[in-house]
Structure 1
Amino acid sequence: MTGNLRYKETRNEEERRKRPEMAAPMVLATPYNSVSVVINGNRRGCTARFAVEAKKSLLCISNGHGEDEVAVSILKEITSMGGLKLEVKAIPLVGMGHAYKRCGIATVGPSRNMPSGGFFFMSKLGLLQDIHAGLISLTVLQWKTIQAWAIKNPNGTLLAVGDLFPLFLAWMASRKCIKVCQMSAGSGIKFIFVGTAKSEYYRCDVDNLNHKLGFFDCVESILFPQCVCLPWERAMMADLNCCLIVPRDSITTASLKKALPPSAESKVKDLGNPMMDNLNPSGVLEFLKKQIPSLCVALLPGSRAPEVYSNWKTILDAVENLLMSPISDQIIFLVPIFSSLEIGLFSKTLLSMGWKFGVSESLLPDIEDSILCTENILSASSDPNGESGILYSFSYKKDNAFLLLTRDLFPDVANLADAAIAMAGTATEQLVGMGKPVFTLSGNGPQYTSQFANAQSRLLGKSVILCSRHSIVGEMTKILKGERFMNFFKENGLKRMGATGASKRIALQIHHLIWHKDSP
């Protein structure tokens, strides 16, 4: 909004000199902190314009480790664009926001690790544990932080990444800003929604997988068949202050466009899935390419404690069956451990199951300087973050197999692996997007239940193979021996997860909306 002031020309120059304050431009306070001042400076009526433009602000709201990574990928692209005076902050609703801190993005508001790791909706016990740990008070404080930021930055932009909850908070903050700052609907703070949770693939059985939907899923499909996004979600997306909606895949984009009012259809963009960005290997494990035997398998137990440690035991039980099978003369297992986890507990489980610590000279003849191996594994990994500048990686041997336990090397592991055994969320989706088959096991913890495994299978199609510790040998042998299957995984991964570059495409759209708010 631009405010214009016009000074009437004084009758003569003598009166103008007596009132010098009239020559000074006046600054008006506006919702966008920008003002144009027009002064009629001479008798000919020519004008001079002065513009005052405030620095723009953006607050990112995300609810989960995977969502934090998606948000960081987008924010890095935005901040890399030169010449922008943009203040970027984030509020992680789940966990401590390690992804933001790793990239130097400032976080605001309280943060805390909850017993369920953010998956309280999958377990009544998990919900009760979270409430006992202070979930309600934490949520209230986080909402107050977002609300205060919105009122302080009425020219700002909110970026909600995840599901209904961050979208709801962004919508509420926008409404609160309009009320407090006495703005009209459609003016003031804008919000953007990048949806990572909802997909039509959850409901459309395009691969004839015949998975049974849960009770509530069935009710939703009957009551609201037109779109996986429910009416109240679509109402928030149709709000005048919502200026961009990015669903996670093409099929959901098409469905949402049909379900929204015609006036809101244009704000829905099919820009891809940011989960597939930033997966280029660092090269730290390049030396393994010459040494990798006929089969390389990634083991992905997840990222949330404490169930990640029970997931690890379940995966190792399945690995035992692979070791007793003739699937390969040699197998190498690669395990990328998330930075916040205690790597010593993974090692302790390996040692208790008969794995021997040490580097094999035949497999790893040239250990690069970036790989640190130590005889005293438990004491060396007592600090979950390790020493600055040192990558912790440990090797184990059992029968015809080698296992490499690494710290934060998922892109390297994903690129080297032929397949994966997983009980993870985001990592499973990324492996599928890279064209790799993922053999998934269901566990008993709140993070990765049978319900969650079935939902992943519906979302990702036949690239996710549900199996037990006993059936994994037969399933893996059948899949990895067929070239036809491997070509299918590449095509399916591209269809379900999209091509790389989504973060940059989304960032360009956000950049335009932030700096051209008055444009259609």
Structure 2
Amino acid sequence: MTPAPVLFISNGTAEDLIGARLAALLGRRTLYAPLVGEGRAYAGLPEARRVGRVLRLPSGGFPFGSLPNLRSDLRAGLIGESLGQWRDAARGASGAGAVVVVGDAYALMVGTLAARINRRPLLHVQPLLSAQYLEGLDLRGTLRELNALGANRPLPYELRLARRAQAVFVRDAATQAYYRRRGVPARFAGSFAMDVLPAPERELHVPAGRPVLALLPGSRDDHRESLSTMLRAAALLPQVTPVVAWPHPWATVALPSGWTLEVASDTEATARGEGAGVSLQRGAFGAVARAADVAIGTAGTANEQLAGLGVPVIAFATRGPQYTAGFARRQGRLLGAALQVVDAHPAALAAAVNGLLEDPSRRAQAAVAGLGRIGPAGALPVIAAEIEVLAEGVWPRHPGPAV
């Protein structure tokens, strides 16, 4: 008898990647319902089928990151299309052996409804919340970040939904303790971010004996603003080897005025200007991350992965959609000494890089903080084994407390 498929509900680029890696570990067909974008990470899996419509948001999945984000998403049909996705997910769950949510409270609501309507087991992977976001967050800070209230801490309704799930996995030990104090038997089995960090894809051929500066403009549209600032900062650092981990088509490269782009192949290009030449590498994030001594990043998961490797990260806020000033503050609380947020100016970034390279004790402190706060890999095989058990029907079938 063919094993029943598993339905994955995820809402973000990193969440899709985690879901796809989990699905690849299962000996089952995959149904996937990406709530933001097309869920391209799942597309390469054998026998994978997308459930329901595609929601393309101008904000890239951050409607509450700023008021302009919310306005643009509402104009794009956020409410009507989202309700349609709820119906699509519920229909998709009818043929699944289990429902797996990878994402935030909103994704958990969609997954809870789909699982309850069809009486299917539910497993929640929460890769976003961390109790470390609350460190040093006073009332004034909370009021300043009201749009991120549910991202800084699990709200009561999310905890109630999580208590109904058959299994809940969180991103770090501090969050496990936070959830358990509130009645959710959550588990920390390892870092999701480090689990999905790719192995080095190829050799970079960087000069020996020179520090490597990784430039991480990110997968969101922040790169249209941040890459130019990063390149100009790199031009002020002739003693380092800068390498851009570029995840987009070459046509989307936004260069500073006076700079040129020399495309060598589909995977390698060089940006030239202000007396500098900066290598851009496509499809080589794993190689760039492992070669780096220091990083400048306006990215979410990528910044965390570099910190998890022990690489100090320097960041600066953009106008969005993701790496806003509020997001930078939140990531600073998450990563502690592993992240340094400075002004969005090339000279400030270059000074921060020099400060780290000239002070080994600061680099060591940043490395220890990153390694400790992100944690080691190893969660996904544990979660996959749990999914297999649930999909075979080995789970409590009592109705549980009312939601």
- Of residues 192-201 and 510-519 in structure 1, the stretch that sits farther from structure 2 once superposed is 510-519
Counterpart pick for 1:276 among 191, 194, 205:
194
Say if 1:337 and 1:406, in contact at 8 Å, map to a contact too: yes
User: Per-residue CA shift, 1:450-504, capped at 9, x if unaligned?
Assistant: 1111111011111110112232233222212222233323322222111022211
Q: Report whether the alignment pairs 1:147 with 2:90.
A: yes
CA–CA distance in 2 between the matches of 1:286 and 1:315? 19
User: Residue 71 of structure 1 aligns to which amino acid in structure 2?
Assistant: G
User: Per-residue CA shift, 1:74-112, capped at 9, x if unaligned?
Assistant: 222224xxxxxx221111111121211144433221113
User: Residue 119 of structure 1 aligns to which amino acid in structure 2?
Assistant: F
Q: Report whether the alignment pairs 1:302 with 2:244.
A: no
3-state SS of paired residue (2:160): helix
CA–CA distance in 1 between the matches of 2:57 and 2:309? 31
Q: Report whether the alignment pairs 1:159 with 2:100.
A: yes
TM (norm. structure 2) is: 0.89
Query: Aligned runs of 1:116-515 on 2, under 5 Å?
Result: 116-153=59-96, 156-177=97-118, 188-205=119-136, 213-215=141-143, 228-239=153-164, 242-260=165-183, 265=185, 268-288=186-206, 291-305=207-221, 307-320=222-235, 322-323=236-237, 328-329=238-239, 331-338=240-247, 341-346=248-253, 349=255, 352-355=257-260, 357=262, 373=264, 391-398=266-273, 401-468=276-343, 469=345, 470-515=347-392
Larger Rg: 1
User: Residue 18 of structure 2 aligns to which amino acid in structure 1?
Assistant: V
CA–CA distance in 2 between the matches of 1:137 and 1:463? 41
CA–CA distance in 1 between the matches of 2:224 and 2:340? 22
User: Per-residue CA shift, 1:203-251, capped at 9, x if unaligned?
Assistant: 123xxx9996241658999xx9xx9322111111112xx1110111100
CA–CA distance in 2 between the matches of 1:278 and 1:400? 36
Distance 1:455 1:472, change over 3 A: same
How far off its partner does 1:160 sit?
Answer: 0.5
Tell me which residue corresponds to 1:12: none
CA–CA distance in 2 between the matches of 1:59 and 1:67? 14
Give the total of aligned pairs.
393
Distance 1:399 1:435, change over 3 A: same
3-state SS of paired residue (2:189): coil
Say if 1:356 and 1:398, in contact at 8 Å, map to a contact too: no
Q: Which runs of 5+ in 2 are unaligned?
A: 398-403
How far off its partner does 1:304 sit?
Answer: 2.1
Counterpart pick for 2:35 among 64, 78, 93:
93
Say if 2:213 and 2:242, in contact at 8 Å, map to a contact too: yes
User: Residue 510 of structure 1 aligns to which amino acid in structure 2?
Assistant: I
Say if 1:393 and 1:406, in contact at 8 Å, map to a contact too: yes
How far off its partner does 1:355 sit?
Answer: 4.8
User: Per-residue CA shift, 1:129-173, capped at 9, x if unaligned?
Assistant: 1111122222122111111122344xx211101110111111112
3-state SS of paired residue (2:340): strand
Q: Which runs of 5+ in 1 are unaligned?
A: 1-52, 80-85, 178-187, 359-372, 375-390
Q: Which has the higher contact order (CA 8 A, sep 6+)?
A: 2
Q: Taking every aligned residue pair, what percent have the same amino acid on both sides?
A: 28
Say if 2:145 and 2:326, in contact at 8 Å, map to a contact too: no
Tell me which residue corresponds to 2:57: 114
Counterpart pick for 1:76 among 3, 15, 24:
24
Distance 1:58 1:172, change over 3 A: same
CA–CA distance in 1 between the matches of 2:371 and 2:122? 29
Distance 1:296 1:279, change over 3 A: same
User: Residue 113 of structure 1 aligns to which amino acid in structure 2?
Assistant: R
Say if 1:211 and 1:458, in contact at 8 Å, map to a contact too: no
CA–CA distance in 2 between the matches of 1:219 and 1:116? 14
3-state SS of paired residue (1:120): coil
Tell me which residue corresponds to 1:11: none
